[in-house]
Amino acid sequence: MTTVLVVDDEPQIRRALATNLKARDYDVLQAATGEEALRLVAERRPDVVILDIGLPGMDGIEVVHGLRGWGDVPIIMLSVRRDEGDKVEALDAGADDYLTKPFGMGELLARLRAALRRTGPSEAEPVIDAGPLHIDLAAKRVSRDDTDVHLTPTEWGLVEQLVRNQGKLVTQRQLLQAVWGPEYGTETHYLRVYMAALRRKLEEDPGRPRHFLTEPGMGYRFEV
């Protein structure tokens, strides 16, 4: 059974999410604070975390940093904030996805399924060397100048799709549906934010990328 940790300081939201998730056969853990969330993740190892950004005390961004210090559990952020800067901050900290309240349960479940797909096992794949980059598709590892680079499951999903199609244009719709799921295809702002984050991590000069290239208005391409 898939275990989901719901972290929100509002009891009614925790209860509503728990009820809906349990009805779909998820095992649900609940936490009201960031400190409690970190403890539960360490003790129970959930498969995915649904995390409110506006927690009392340790806020959601701090919790993400704490989780990313030692693990790759998928994290879906929740927030009433609509500013894109907040979303960028959450994704840069290591969150995998971001939902603005209020949201539909169907959308949350779709994001949850997509996050779980991205962490599933993969078949053995080749190793790619592109200048200072070393990409091992089987191990889901990337290093730059012989130093491991931490990627979130979503960032890895984008790298994997582009590397597997080396030299070919991968359209925005193809990337969105491959990484986020078939329900997606028009949320191109996701790609702008994530590709900028990938370039900061993987390119020597993010402003003039050599490997992760944009085809304006169409999609992206990986070049060795």
Q: Supply the CATH number for residue 165's domain.
A: 1.10.10.10
> Do 43 and 9 share a structural domain?
yes
- pTM of this prediction? 0.61
How does the average pLDDT of the chain come out, rounded?
A: 88
Residue 203 has pLDDT above 90, yes or no: yes
Domain final residue, candidates 77, 95, 118:
118
Q: Which residues pair with 78 in a beta bridge?
A: 52, 99
Residue 122 has pLDDT above 70, yes or no: no
> Do 203 and 101 share a structural domain?
no
Closest by alpha carbon to 72, among 48, 91, 90?
A: 48
Residue 204 has pLDDT above 70, yes or no: yes
Q: What is the CATH number of the domain that holds 110?
A: 3.40.50.2300
Domain range enclosing 16: 3-118
Q: What is the count of structural domains for the chain? A: 2
> Do 203 and 99 share a structural domain?
no
Domain final residue, candidates 79, 95, 118:
118
pLDDT in tens, 143-176: 999 899 999 888 999 999 899 888 888 889 888 8
Domain final residue, candidates 86, 118, 150:
118
- CA dist 184 and 99 (Å) reads 14
Percent of the residues in the chain that have a pLDDT greater than 90, as a whole number? 46
- 5-11 mean pLDDT: 95
Which DSSP string do the residues of 102-149 spell out, in sequence order? S--HHHHHHHHHHHHHHTS------EEEETTEEEETTTTEEEETTEEE
> Do 110 and 19 share a structural domain?
yes
Comparing 61-65, 88-92, 145-149, 166-170, which segment has the lowest mean pLDDT? 88-92
Which element (helix H / strand E) includes 147?
strand 147-149
Residue 100 has pLDDT above 60, yes or no: yes
- CA dist 89 and 49 (Å) reads 17
